[in-house]
Amino acid sequence: MSSTAPAKHVIVVGGGILGASTCMHLARGGAQVTLVTAGPLASGASGRSIAWLNSSGARSADYHYLRMLAIDRYRTWSARHPESRDYIRFDGALKWAGPNETFRETYAFERSTGYDSLWVDRADVPGIAADVNADAVADEGAIYNPGEGWVNMPDFIPALVAEAAAHGAAVIEHAGNVRIDVQQGAAAGVILGDGTRLAADQVVLATGGEVPAQLAALGVTVPDATPAAFVLYTDPIDVKVETVLNTPRVAVRPTPDGRLVLDADWAEQSVIVEDDGSFTVPDESVQGLLDEASKVLAGNPRLTAQKVGAGLKPIPGDGEPVVGPVPAIPGLHMMFTHSGATLGLILGELLAEEILTGTPSPVLKSFRLDRFDSGTAVPASVGTGAWAPVPQN
């Protein structure tokens, strides 16, 4: 008789980077895993992410450490999967301050943590990033982070799920409104949109901006600062862009097929949440992003919009990840975080290890749900995201 304990049956809810990563790591570890997602893979916040891989700016020490581990895991994946180098790139990132602002303190902070951060005078930008319009850079110069990069989630998530499936994981897409099945106070599985019940020993909730509302339905509150947001995909351009740009008016990163992904805080603030929970992006915001992106690229190429993706942008109330058990509901685990693209691989690995071994990860100690005072909760957001084609100019 084998002395090996039976593999745990875990259902992971959510087809974004966090769900796919957790599913893969659980399957690798010998668990029986089912990944369930309301729609197709990468159709939520992960598919609408600028997906900049970084630990840029001022952060708590624990959060910075977590993000550095996260970047390390992407480098490891890329080294072990050469085919991924088309959609996981580390070609550096450049950022500069807006009018009447300075990034000198940001630069000093990054250097103080040992982060790979270089100060670049405007005249030297062409030698660092030939794809950038140096005239658009702030007079004081810019910060160049050579170790930063990007990942294209519509390529990466299917690769994670394929590896999970190779280790025996089952995948259910288009499952509709998936609910946690709580029986006698504990998570017993999930209920699919058509009413089908799937039983499990443990359940992981990784549905991005929907997590607060889904937990609220179970009587659990998580502070939530999730806004509506959107990203814009351009049509393919002839100019080769490699550097991730984070500028005062637009963020830019390339895709494997020669398009650009654009977003900006000012643009996301223009998103209209309709009464039915859908999202409308004003035409002027779309054109504004295109114009701002053209200004910061060498040669000021003419950019046209191919599609926009609007929906919820997951952000916990204090800005830092919320990962691990839901204390009020045994058997239920949660993942709710901004920068899911950066954190996806490491959080999936650490949570999977906790579930498989029953041993809490010291790395996640600062990021538990029970760090919040339940009396200071922020109301949960609701809604679903959508992709829409953009008429050609």
Q: Are 215 and 328 in contact (CB under 8 A)?
A: no
pTM: 0.93
Query: Chain-wide mean pLDDT for the chain?
Result: 93
Whether residue 383 has pLDDT greater than 90 = no
Tell me: the pLDDT tens digits for 125-169? 999 999 999 999 999 999 999 999 999 999 999 999 999 999 999
* Closest to 41 measured CA to CA, from 13, 61, 60, 67: 13
Give the number of other Cβ atoms within 10 Å of residue 258's Cβ.
14
Whether residue 393 has pLDDT greater than 90 = no
Helices (H), 129-210: 153-166
* Closest to 181 measured CA to CA, from 329, 76, 59, 52: 329
Phi, psi of 254 (to 5 degrees): -80, 170
Tell me: the pLDDT tens digits for 210-249? 999 999 999 999 999 999 999 999 999 998 999 999 999 9
Whether residue 375 has pLDDT greater than 90 = no
Whether residue 391 has pLDDT greater than 50 = no
Q: What is the pLDDT of residue 176?
A: 97
Query: In the structure, what pLDDT confidence band is assigned to residue 390 with cuts at 50, 70 and 90?
Result: very low
- Hey, what domains does the chain have and what are their CATH numbers? 9-48+154-225+316-386 (3.50.50.60), 93-146+227-312 (3.30.9.10)
* Closest to 20 measured CA to CA, from 347, 261, 310: 347
Enter the tokens of residue 178. 């998936």
Query: Higher pLDDT residue, 386 or 265?
Result: 265
**Which residues touch 141 (CB under 8 Å, ≥6 apart)?**
96, 119, 120, 121, 122
Section 272-277 average pLDDT: 94
Q: Are 31 and 189 in contact (CB under 8 A)?
A: no
* Closest to 353 measured CA to CA, from 26, 70, 66, 16: 26
Q: What is the pLDDT of residue 44?
A: 94
Tell me: the pLDDT tens digits for 29-74? 999 999 999 999 999 999 999 999 999 998 999 999 999 999 999 9
Mode of pairing for the β-strands spanning 9-13 and 202-205: parallel
